[in-house]
Amino acid sequence: MEDIAQFFLEKLMIDERYGIAKPVDDQTLLLPRFLNTLEVCVDIYKQKYPNQSVTFAETYRSNSLQYKYFQQGASKIKADGMHHYGIAADSIFIINGKRTYKGDVMLLRKIYVDNGLTILGMWDALHVQLIPVGQQMQLRNAVSSKIKAFQNQQGIPVTGLVDDITVAKARSVFS
């Protein structure tokens, strides 16, 4: 959890897209060890289907976009979903040069699980994340603790919340 919290503080909070209310598909916003595992999974999938590939329609997701999805009924999470921490991605196939959801979903899901990743129910069939649902609260607490320690270290109000002061300070320290 520590590396995820550190990645959130040093990489995601300072990114110009932090807070943007549009989908982001930039794979550099995924925790490196998670991205490495995803790449292994894609390579395994391509062994079975050499004329197909897999990429990611959404990687990082801001809380404002997460809440929008929640209001639309497209998500069960209001805020601080796993996309927000760079440890979730929504897969999409590339077949004949076009993005599609019509690849071998069941095989891809099996490959993810076989490689230690977490999938959700078929209601979100191509979502994959690093940690199980049961560990999400532990992650949120670890991030809050990391934010509080950073705030304390920087002499700004210690709230554990990612406010404008904290983001600005993180940008000045880690950019």
H or E element: which one contains 172?
helix 164-174
107-148 confidence digits (pLDDT tens) = 999 999 999 999 998 888 999 999 999 999 999 999 999 999
Confidence of residue 75 (pLDDT cuts 50, 70, 90): confident
Residue 116 Rama label (left phi>0; alpha psi -120 to 50; beta): left
Confidence of residue 9 (pLDDT cuts 50, 70, 90): very high
Residue 11 in contact with residue 18, Cβ under 8 Å? no
pLDDT of residue 76: 87
Q: What percent of the chain has pLDDT over 70?
A: 100
C-alpha closest to that of 8 among 61, 66, 51, 74: 61
DSSP state at residue 23: -
28-49 confidence digits (pLDDT tens) = 999 999 999 999 999 999 999 9
Kindly report the pTM of this predicted structure.
0.94
User: What domains, with CATH codes, occur in the chain?
Assistant: 2-133 (3.30.1380.10)
